[in-house]
Structure 1
Amino acid sequence: MSHATTIEQTGRKAGWRGWVALVALMLPVLLVSVDNTVLSFALPGISADLEPTGVEQLWIIDAYSLVLAGLLVTAGSLGDRFGRRRMLLIGATGFAVVSTLAAFAPSAELLIAARAALGVFGALLMPSTLSLLRSIFTHRDERRLALAVWATMFSAGAALGPIVGGVILEHFWWGAVFLLAIPMLIPMLVLVPLVVPESRDPRPGPLDLVSVLLSMAATVPVVYGIKELAVAGLGGPSLVLFIVGGVFGWLFVRRQRRLAVPMLDMALFQRMGFTGAILVNLLSVTALVGFLYFGAQHLQLIVGLSPVQAGLVLVPGMAAMIVAGIGVVPIARRVAARVVIPSALVLSVAGYLLVAWGGAHDLGVLIVAFAVLGMGIGAAETVSTDLVLTNAPPEKAGAASAVSETAYELGAVLGTSILGGILTWWYRANLVVPSGIPAEGAEAARETLAAAMHVADQAGGTVGEALREAAAVAFDGGVVMTSLIGAALVVVAGIVAATTLDRRREGA
């Protein structure tokens, strides 16, 4: 056992201030993760009020994650240099202000712009929370528990989003989901200066603006290309965007290796435990968000549940995610990560296959499927997040956290863009609009499921019911396909974990 590991195992424990700090740092984690999925349940209301096109609807969800993913590496580096607590407080203040503007957006275009601005401040929030935990909890066992809470809250927040959104939308208009940021961030702004110590890299290099621009130029085209691939296929601009992102990514890596003090230490990726854990997080979040994307629409628009009822359907899955995330901690002390993570992900694969086998028609199957899927992802992400920080030196915690957060947010983009885009393509290709629906109504019905249900309500009678049934069949056929793809993604995550993570027991 190395000297550094010995210090971590027997180092000073955090005390009560550390655990209060953990509570304070969980508020922005919950907020950002809730924000990733809460809009899935607000989409019907937004569609009815702002009347976005199918592409605009995807952009309303993805603009936030796109900007966030592009800025996370820069934000993590800024935290290492200028103070992680400072970046956290700036991000929280800006997030609260822009959330208020988003709540009252009068058009789809302005809502997309507000979501993009939220991504800027969200990028300052998330790497700071994870890296501050690394500096507060220096004892390995305490840090593993704290990171379990962090990872569990991030995953549970994704599931909590529809529930919170359902309760809010039952009583208020869709813009109220954005105002949720205010009561969550104000307590954090009060507590963080009192209980969270400032931390930064003791030997930071100069801020390299060229690296900042290269990181954004590499990330944004790739994420945008993924969105275009899902909507337009390779015939669209996606291939060009991938090439552009790849070229700038190569230039970014090349520059980091030449700098005496790089913005992102590329040596981190030479550690298989670090890279493998990042890939596990990426694929797991993609699968989770993809499930929530189609599940939220199915429950409200096809089953006919209210937002609150639809959210409550997901409660068992959220509870399973929390229990599994915390409960895996004592297991991870004794069993190697390369065994724990693939074993947990088997459950997630089973959840997706349940949906593909039983379809989304059976509400009971959907509840059980999400509970099983949630257990697997909750346990896997707890262990993989611990590995990300364990494999990074403390002074580079911000940069390592930023890479981890980029994987989370890129996973959110992939979940809605790839799985959501495939689902949209399947729906449009297989929707058979019954005769009797006007041409304008038929065109609107092919855009989104929400638009089809709206046209069906306007048509009424036998024709309206026929359109409603046709839309449900087309949408649920897409659900089966995306469920199989989600299962395949989780299988890949399990293979990555089994082949890249350390064969030794963690902490040994």
Structure 2
Amino acid sequence: MTTSPSTSAPARSGGAAGRSPRRDWLALGLLMFPVLLVAVDNTALTFALPAITRALEPSGVHVLWIIDAYPLVLAGLLVSMGSLGDRIGRRRLLIIGSTGFAGLSAATAFAPSAEWLIAGRAALGFFGAMLMPSTLSLIRNIFPEPNRRRMAVAIWAAGFSGGAALGPIFGGWLVEHFWWGAVFLVAVPLMVPLLALGRTFIPESKDPSPGRVDVPSILLSMLVMVPMVYGIKDVATEGPGLTGLGSMAFGLAMGVVFVRRQHRLEHPLLDMSLFRNRVFSMAISANILALFSFNGFILFLAQHLQLLEGLSPSAAGVAMIPALAATVAAGLVVVPLVRKVRPGYVVAAGLAFSATGYTLVAFGNHDGGPALLLAALLVLALGVGTAETISNDLILGSAPPEKSGAAAAISETGYEVGSLLGTAVLGSILTASYQHNLRLPAGLDGMLPGASLHNAGETLAGAMEAAAVLPGPLADAVRDAAAAAFDSGVHVTAAIGLVLMATAAVLAAVVLRKVPKAT
């Protein structure tokens, strides 16, 4: 596939000439260790939180910062670190990040207090921001030939999806058999192969004419992403309010300042001309929307499985494994497909699959157990795996090799933003619909404390907790009312997801229709 002159260039910017394919694939194998680590780390912490709460006795605010410190710092630094890798060397940045991540993970595993754990999580976000853009940009330069690069990107995406699937199961097993710190300590053995062999088998690459690092641009990029991510997470958990919406507005204002500064600089931190490429911009949008649909779906499916079907968190995670495996399989299967079908149509088909998954939920009956929702997740996962793999390849292929670090960082930022938006937007709509449609039985005022009654009206979890202390018939009535209200919210959010994914599929087919088939 040739999406721009840069994609057909056989030269590797800064790479070693005449490398054997075997060494390239071995280098990819080493790059998968940080990918797996970041993916597992993202989901495993959830299952360690109860043990952390018992051991460190954090306040409610501390718990929120234990969760949020890592993604806030990570999102704020992704663009800066991607551009820094272009300047100082992507392998060099990856080694620095891996060393720091492993060392800090070992220290964080033995954090004596919640404050130390929060500081450790923030520092892990700093080094984590060096990892993912570096792996993806190195793939762009290790595999300049489009077909091999496409397969490498598919394997990269499969590692990320596989790690996300293993996280809940692996994290739960570690906490059960060891202690909460084992979730962090596992980073050390995972990084050893990369640190021992990376310099030997992974070729260095960087921008040959990088220019100086613009520190004000780095600060501005953080003032864009940190308030935006914080605002999205606040809206997702607290609903629309002054804090969340104000944070997002401030982030957008700083975004305007950041973009204007980049246009004025001779050597910008982020080359804004990348976005003038329609293929690049549409592929980024497809990536964001694919993650939006997937994480928004997981949000209400996890609640349904645990609160309405009575599954434990680990059992709910196991129930989702077939769909996550389908994400991996779809990403690998579509690689040869783009030799026969234009990649734009493959991305559009993936987004259409996501729309189909939401269709099953929007118009289906959820009373027959979790089978329909899990089937819908399977269809959705096939679409996400398809769209993500090809859109990531389009992102890398449409950017010049010397700018691959910045392109990879934008792709990773899209991952973060898409995931957060899926949770925040669909989660807020789901919560609002639940609260609007809830009809609790009469007579609860004298049987429940005011706080419990309030929580029952706010969330499905609150209603289920309230029902647990009520007598049988009344408890059943509360559960039925909460389930009906939640189900109505799921239909609404699924219909919105359906419209968004269908629209995205049409746009991808139109905008990307001229991207040629792979040769």
**TM-score, structure 2 length as denominator?**
0.86
**For residue 341 of structure 2, what is the aligned residue in structure 1?**
335
Aligned length: 507
Tell me which moved more, 39-48 or 150-159.
39-48
2:198 aligned with 1:192, yes or no?
Answer: yes
* Preserved contact between residue 300 and residue 306 of structure 1 (Cα < 8 Å): yes
**For residue 134 of structure 1, what is the aligned residue in structure 2?**
140
Match of 1:221 among 224, 227, 232: 227
Query: Could you list the per-position Cα deviations for residues 26-53 of structure 1 after superposition, in whole angstroms to 9, with x for gaps in the alignment?
Result: 1222222333344555667778886875
* Preserved contact between residue 45 and residue 174 of structure 1 (Cα < 8 Å): yes
Distance of 2:356 and 2:132 partners within structure 1: 31
Question: Structure 1's 31 and 422: CA in aligned 2 closer, same or farther, altered over 3 A?
Answer: farther
**For residue 358 of structure 1, what is the aligned residue in structure 2?**
365
Question: Structure 1's 117 and 296: CA in aligned 2 closer, same or farther, altered over 3 A?
Answer: farther
Question: What is the deviation of 1:420?
Answer: 2.9
**For residue 390 of structure 1, what is the aligned residue in structure 2?**
397
Secondary structure of 1:333 counterpart? coil
2:493 aligned with 1:486, yes or no?
Answer: no
Secondary structure of 2:266 counterpart? coil
* Preserved contact between residue 333 and residue 505 of structure 1 (Cα < 8 Å): no
| Corresponding letter in the other structure for 2:422 | G
Question: Structure 1's 203 and 121: CA in aligned 2 closer, same or farther, altered over 3 A?
Answer: same
2:261 aligned with 1:250, yes or no?
Answer: no
**For residue 442 of structure 1, what is the aligned residue in structure 2?**
453
Distance of 2:425 and 2:33 partners within structure 1: 29
Match of 2:388 among 381, 400, 423: 381
* Preserved contact between residue 351 and residue 370 of structure 1 (Cα < 8 Å): yes
**For residue 408 of structure 2, what is the aligned residue in structure 1?**
401
Secondary structure of 2:339 counterpart? helix
Question: Structure 1's 449 and 461: CA in aligned 2 closer, same or farther, altered over 3 A?
Answer: same
Q: Give the alignment's Cα RMSD to 1 decimal.
A: 3.4
2:270 aligned with 1:264, yes or no?
Answer: yes
Structure 1 unaligned spans of 5+: none
* Preserved contact between residue 282 and residue 411 of structure 1 (Cα < 8 Å): yes
| Corresponding letter in the other structure for 2:277 | R
* Preserved contact between residue 87 and residue 124 of structure 1 (Cα < 8 Å): yes
* Preserved contact between residue 282 and residue 511 of structure 2 (Cα < 8 Å): yes
Match of 1:74 among 74, 80, 84: 80
Distance of 1:417 and 1:452 partners within structure 2: 21
**For residue 154 of structure 2, what is the aligned residue in structure 1?**
148
Distance of 2:229 and 2:309 partners within structure 1: 32
Secondary structure of 1:403 counterpart? helix
**For residue 207 of structure 1, what is the aligned residue in structure 2?**
213
**For residue 372 of structure 1, what is the aligned residue in structure 2?**
379
Distance of 1:120 and 1:375 partners within structure 2: 32
Match of 1:412 among 419, 442, 448: 419
| Corresponding letter in the other structure for 2:40 | V
* Preserved contact between residue 147 and residue 518 of structure 2 (Cα < 8 Å): no
Question: What is the deviation of 1:76?
Answer: 0.6
Distance of 2:434 and 2:45 partners within structure 1: 20
Distance of 1:331 and 1:171 partners within structure 2: 44
**For residue 495 of structure 1, what is the aligned residue in structure 2?**
506
Secondary structure of 1:334 counterpart? coil
Tell me which moved more, 343-352 or 323-332.
343-352
Question: What is the deviation of 1:105?
Answer: 6.2
Secondary structure of 1:134 counterpart? helix
Question: What is the deviation of 1:264?
Answer: 0.9
Match of 2:429 among 418, 422, 427: 422
Distance of 1:44 and 1:468 partners within structure 2: 25
Question: What is the deviation of 1:239?
Answer: 4.4
Question: What is the deviation of 1:101?
Answer: 5.6
Question: Structure 1's 113 and 373: CA in aligned 2 closer, same or farther, altered over 3 A?
Answer: farther
Q: Matches of residues 302-321 of structure 1 in structure 2 within 5 Å?
A: 302-321=308-327
**For residue 351 of structure 2, what is the aligned residue in structure 1?**
345
**TM-score, structure 1 length as denominator?**
0.87
* Preserved contact between residue 290 and residue 420 of structure 1 (Cα < 8 Å): yes
Structure 2 unaligned spans of 5+: none
